[in-house]
């Protein structure tokens, strides 16, 4: 127990370090020494933002830059409505939506909305590592339900899910298409989640920020297609970050038909006053983004997936499930401690003065000891660079295995 009155709070000190960013200082150090670092560790796409969203900035003429409305600027919310209606979900109304500061804020709001401190939320493991930090901030306990690389990180059976439900469980949190897994839940899997939620009176928080990135003719099944069945229970988290390569614009969505919840989340939104007015001015252009933009990006990510999947799987001892969507995969490596391997890549390993940065797998698990032989990769680089990354991983594993470390 820390007693010094000027010590930071125990809960602050206990927040987990970001699995994705924790090695950043080592990458910065390598770069300062002139080393080229390929970033496979973070999902910050190199894809260009649609022109129509950038061009509109040249027309900005409001001075001063005022607050946006707390729930979102009406024109931006209208653009979101247009988007959801076009997806076929005509029931969505303006009053069901809060425009958030990225999907990240929507995740925080969702966890705050469903659980009291000490209560539990089930999450399928491995999971997006910031869920752990958001849950820790809220004092909510994430209870992991394991999935495995062998079945492409798809859902386990009903019994495996139900066995983790306790009197304290309030919600199921999931992400489809999945970060970090690349799995896309089928309609049967979504049916299962909805059925479990119904039987046990649980909320469902569906993170769909990668909705458009689904490969090989698969269908993305949204929680929106169940919302009218379970209006009190379903919450959708969404974001424009990946869809339009707008990560820095901080545009997200919290969506539910639960009126009491929207009322409460509106109070949260009011307490932080507003999202970015200029960001929403950019975002409202989404109605003008040609379909060809998203289609081209889908094709590009599928190409990248194929390059990385073929490349990494050709390395002895490396296992990678074929991603069905998003732009991530958890990759099994022939190492005992991927934290050490990832650190070594940045601090010691060089090939032609180049190296590669990977995200250690353990940060995507809540179960101690899991993920220690895995890394998460994000294929947000062009195919030439991805091929180089595969070469670097192959060579680095060889060198690493010849030292004391493997
Ligand atoms: C699964 C998932 N959810 C939510 C987010 C939040 O994204 P943003 O805050 O940029 O909208 C991310 C970002 O990487 C993500 O991968």
What is the 9 CA–ligand 1 centroid distance (Å)? 27
Cα(156) to centroid(ligand 1), Å: 24
Question: If you measure from the C-alpha of residue 103 to the centroid of ligand 1, how many angstroms do you get, rounded to a whole number?
Answer: 5
Expressed in angstroms and rounded, the spacing between residue 215 Cα and the centre of ligand 1 is 19
Identify any residues that bridge with 319 across adjacent strands, giving them in sequence order.
Answer: 332
Q: Which of 43, 108, 134, 241 to mutate to test the pocket of ligand 1 (most atoms within 8 A of CB)?
A: 241
pLDDT band at 3 (very low <50, low <70, confident <90, very high): low
pLDDT for position 150: 87
Q: How far is the CA of 128 from the centre of ligand 1 (A)?
A: 8
Token pair in block for residue 43: 């999902």
Summarised one tens digit per residue, pLDDT across range 271-305 is: 999 999 999 999 999 999 999 999 999 999 999 99
Q: Whose CA is nearest to atom 1 of ligand 1?
A: 179
pTM here is 0.94
Query: What average pLDDT does the chain have?
Result: 95
Instruction: Decide: 210 and 325 in contact? Cβ < 8 Å.
Output: yes
* Nearest by Cα to 175 from 110, 120, 119, 96: 110
pLDDT at 1 (0 to 100): 56
Biggest CA–CA distance in the chain, Å, is 62
Ligand 1 neighbours by CB, cut-off 6 Å: 43, 102-104, 107, 128, 175, 179, 207, 209, 239, 241, 247, 252
pLDDT at 66 over 60: yes
How many angstroms separate the Cα of 222 from the Cα of each of 127, 178, 306, 326?
18, 13, 25, 14
Kindly give the distance from the C-alpha atom of residue 402 to the centroid of ligand 1, in angstroms, as a whole number.
38
Q: How confident is the model at residue 140 (pLDDT cuts 50, 70, 90)?
A: very high
pLDDT digits (tens, 9 = 90+) for 360-383: 999 999 999 999 999 999 998 999
pLDDT tens figures, 69-98: 999 999 999 999 999 999 999 999 999 999
Backbone angles phi, psi at 260, to 5 degrees: -65, -35
In total, the chain counts a number of residues equal to 406
Supply the residue whose CA is at minimum distance from atom 14 of ligand 1. Answer: 43
């Amino acid at each position: 127990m820390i007693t010094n009155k000027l010590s930071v709070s125990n809960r602050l000190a206990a927040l987990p370090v970001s699995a994705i960013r924790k090695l950043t200082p080592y990458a910065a150090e390598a770069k300062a020494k002139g080393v080229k670092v390929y970033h496979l560790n973070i999902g910050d796409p190199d894809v260009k933002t649609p022109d129509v969203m950038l061009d509109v900035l040249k027309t900005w003429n409001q001075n001063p830059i005022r607050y946006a409305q707390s729930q979102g600027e009406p024109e931006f919310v209208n653009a979101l409505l247009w988007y959801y209606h076009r997806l076929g979900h005509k029931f969505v109304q303006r009053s069901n939506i809060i425009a958030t500061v990225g999907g990240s804020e929507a995740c925080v709001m969702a966890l705050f909305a469903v659980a009291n401190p000490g209560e539990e939320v089930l999450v399928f493991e491995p999971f997006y590592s910031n869920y752990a930090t958001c849950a820790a901030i809220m004092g909510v306990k994430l209870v992991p339900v394991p999935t495995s690389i062998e079945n492409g990180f798809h859902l386990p059976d009903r019994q495996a899910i139900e066995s983790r439900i306790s009197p304290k469980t309030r919600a199921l949190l999931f992400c489809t298409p999945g970060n970090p897994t690349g799995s896309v839940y089928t309609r049967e899997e979504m049916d299962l989640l909805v059925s479990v939620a119904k039987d046990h009176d649980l909320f469902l928080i569906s993170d769909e920020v990668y909705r458009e990135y689904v490969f090989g003719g698969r269908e993305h099944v949204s929680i929106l297609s169940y919302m009218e069945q379970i209006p009190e229970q379903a919450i959708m988290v969404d974001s424009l970050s990946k869809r339009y390569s707008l990560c820095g614009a901080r545009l997200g969505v919290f969506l539910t038909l639960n009126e009491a919840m929207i009322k409460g989340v509106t109070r949260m939104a009011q307490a932080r006053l507003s999202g970015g007015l200029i960001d929403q001015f950019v975002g409202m252009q989404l109605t003008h983004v040609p379909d060809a933009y998203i289609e081209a990006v889908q094709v590009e990510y599928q190409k990248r997936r194929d390059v990385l999947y073929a490349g990494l799987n050709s390395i002895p001892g490396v296992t990678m499930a074929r991603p069905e969507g998003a732009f991530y995969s958890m990759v099994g490596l022939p190492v005992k401690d991927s934290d050490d391997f990832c650190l070594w890549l940045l601090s010691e390993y060089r090939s032609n003065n180049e190296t590669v940065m990977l995200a250690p797998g353990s940060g995507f698990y809540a179960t101690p000891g899991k993920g220690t032989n895995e890394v998460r990769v994000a294929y947000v680089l062009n195919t030439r660079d991805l091929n180089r990354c595969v070469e670097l991983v192959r060579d680095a594993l060889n060198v690493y295995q010849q030292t004391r470390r493997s």
